[in-house]
Amino acid sequence: MPHPRLRVAVCGGGIGGLVLAVALSQAQDIDIDVYEAAREFAEVGAGVGVWPRPWKILKALGLAQDLAQVTFVPPENELVVALDFRKGDEPHGGTTFGQMLSPGGLISFHRPDFQRIVLQHLARSCRPHTSKRLVSYTQPSSASEPIQLFFQDGTTATCDLLVGADGVKSRVRACMIKEVADDLRARGDSITASKVMQSAAPVWSGMMSYRTTAPSEALQKRYPNHRLLKEPHVFFGKNTQMTAYPIARGTLVNAAAFTVRWDLENTYLDAPWVVDAPRSEFSQEFADWEPEVQALFDCVKSTSRWAVHTVIPLRSFVHRRVILIGDAASAMLPFQGSGAGQAIEDAYILSALLTHPSTTVHSLERAAKIYDAIRRPAAQRVAVLSREAALLYTFNYPGLTLDRDGCREEQLQKIYKRIVNNWAWAWETTAQPDLERAIAMLEGRMQ
Ligand SMILES: Cc1cc2nc3c(=O)[nH]c(=O)nc-3n(C[C@H](O)[C@H](O)[C@H](O)COP(=O)(O)OP(=O)(O)OC[C@H]3O[C@@H](n4cnc5c(N)ncnc54)[C@H](O)[C@@H]3O)c2cc1C
């Protein structure tokens, strides 16, 4: 490419970074470098679910047809069971108390399949680099001067715009927040500077997630017609929860089982975040759960335990020509199955602003501000709903705890209705109005 209009560096090759790279490569005159810290682009061998709202974006980006080859995609307008709700913390058998229906349901993937297909769609204008861990950057105030990137291996690179898609532990976020706080201190506002600094490091949610997959064939043998071979389920329990669903065209069942200590929410955990967990630990935490859950555990070979971390809501996702997307911007609890969905939405709106022909190096800061105005409130709202879902799932939502005698069924129904109402945005709305608003703002047709 002789003279690219923009040179974009994407730090992080997870779902958000790669979808952004695909979306940006639809413009011929944008030069894209993706810098991934790991030795190869490799997603964790777990499942990820996508709701109709982000699925429509994947379709618009030309990814849906190939993604549909590795999963089952229900007809878009047909109501299907997205999730069955079941109280699972009962040793003699759980109770199903609700079914969440949605048009198109929850489309579930084995993460490595998803990543492989997105990678196949990267255009030639995009250069992926592995073993490139960003350590810091410097951002000159003049847009004519490039941003400088510094990597752990001692190499450097330059770009016009840096996108931090580097996940919950984001190095880009840490550097960006320091830049913002330094600016505030220089202007004498050390109180706001300290508040801003609270979002620099991720915080522990008090939750541990046991993530695993079980071969469907083994599960069928161990427990014929196990409910997880057919439909996705959320199992509810006091301070415990499990979401499980078939993936890889039904050959595996993916499970994420959670324990929570709400009193430890937003603390700092002085321990490794991800460790191998023996099956005995996993089963012990859920020892009083129903036989079908125990049967699933019996079929599991390995499990890992993840300390679930989040980001304290940021005051901005952008600082001049540095922009955060996905978990780097708004890592949230996974209880609306929407963290990856938000990363996809971030990528979609940002790419529309950057590929717009009027966007140049000199108007990048304006495009960044529009991205922040559209995406930050939306993603932070989903984070709030995800936390509310976590309280409901674990019977900790104020007034809906099942601790009161005699009204268990009534309480379960109230929980069910609240969860469904909170979730409906994921299939009843689309990102199209946000996209149109962003473009209208960019073109000066809207404030
Ligand atoms: C148990 C569990 C279940 C979930 N289920 C769902 C679900 O069903 N649906 C859903 O939508 N979401 C789900 N999520 C959330 C989802 O996994 C995340 O929101 C999503 O993966 C975020 O994508 P990302 O690209 O922003 O970050 P990541 O996937 O974390 O990718 C970040 C990338 O950046 C790289 N990187 C990190 N630091 C650097 C650096 N300094 N330099 C260069 N590269 C770097 C990393 O190696 C990584 O490849 C779940 C989360 C959990 C914990």
Does 323 lie in the same domain as 295?
Answer: no
Considering 251, 285, 310, which residue would you say is the last residue of a domain? 310
In DSSP terms, 275 is beta-bridged to 305
Number of domains in the chain: 2
User: For the domain that residue 339 is a member of, what is the CATH number?
Assistant: 3.50.50.60
pLDDT tens-digit series, residues 193-236: 999 999 999 999 999 999 999 999 999 999 999 999 999 999 99
Does 36 lie in the same domain as 131?
Answer: yes
Does 264 lie in the same domain as 166?
Answer: no
The tokens for 370 are 């529009």
Task: Indicate whether 1 belongs to any domain.
Answer: no
Task: Indicate whether 80 belongs to any domain.
Answer: no
Alpha helix ranges (H) inside 394-407: none
Does 222 lie in the same domain as 124?
Answer: no
Calculate the alpha carbon distances from 406 to 96, 402, 410, 412 in Å: 18, 9, 9, 12
Q: Cα(17) to centroid of ligand 1, in Å? A: 10
Choose among 34, 40, 21: nearest CA to 149. Answer: 34
Does 322 lie in the same domain as 291?
Answer: no
- In which domain, by residue range, is 327 found? 6-72+108-202+312-442
Does 27 lie in the same domain as 56?
Answer: yes
Task: Indicate whether 81 belongs to any domain.
Answer: no
Average pLDDT value over all residues in the chain: 94
pLDDT tens-digit series, residues 174-193: 999 999 999 999 999 999 99
Does 231 lie in the same domain as 196?
Answer: no
Q: Are strands 147-151 and 107-110 parallel, antiparallel or unpaired?
A: unpaired
User: Across residues 386-402, what is the average pLDDT?
Assistant: 94
**What is the rounded CA–CA span in Å between residue 151 and residue 177?**
19
pLDDT tens-digit series, residues 262-307: 999 999 999 999 999 988 888 888 999 999 999 999 999 888 999 9
Does 219 lie in the same domain as 305?
Answer: yes
Task: Indicate whether 395 belongs to any domain.
Answer: yes
Atom of ligand 1 nearest to the CA of 172: 41
pLDDT tens-digit series, residues 82-132: 999 999 999 998 899 999 999 989 998 989 999 999 999 999 889 999 999
Does 185 lie in the same domain as 45?
Answer: yes
Which of 327, 330, 332, 427 is the pocket-test mutation for ligand 1 (most atoms within 8 Å of CB)? 327
- Kind and range of the H or E element at 159? strand 156-159
Task: Indicate whether 330 belongs to any domain.
Answer: yes
Does 331 lie in the same domain as 374?
Answer: yes
Task: Indicate whether 289 belongs to any domain.
Answer: yes
Distance of CA 179 to the CA centre of its chain: 25
User: For the domain that residue 291 is a member of, what is the CATH number?
Assistant: 3.30.9.30
Does 210 lie in the same domain as 268?
Answer: yes
Q: Cα(167) to centroid of ligand 1, in Å? A: 5
Does 231 lie in the same domain as 125?
Answer: no
Residues with Cβ within 8 Å of 193's Cβ and at least 6 positions away in sequence, in order, are 180, 181, 182, 184, 185
Decide: 325 and 341 in contact? Cβ < 8 Å.
no
Q: Whose CA is nearest to atom 15 of ligand 1?
A: 339
Question: pLDDT at position 20, please?
Answer: 98
Atom of ligand 1 nearest to the CA of 256: 1
Q: Is 112 exposed, middle or buried (0-12, 13-18, 19+ CB in 10 A)?
A: middle
Considering 310, 345, 369, which residue would you say is the last residue of a domain? 310
- Residues in contact with ligand 1 by the CB-under-6-Å rule are 11-17, 35-38, 48-49, 133-134, 165-167, 171, 209, 211, 256, 306, 308, 326-328, 334, 337-341, 343
Task: Indicate whether 213 belongs to any domain.
Answer: yes
Given pLDDT bands bounded at 50, 70 and 90, which one contains residue 405? low
Given pLDDT bands bounded at 50, 70 and 90, which one contains residue 398? very high
Considering 286, 310, 334, which residue would you say is the last residue of a domain? 310
Task: Indicate whether 78 belongs to any domain.
Answer: no
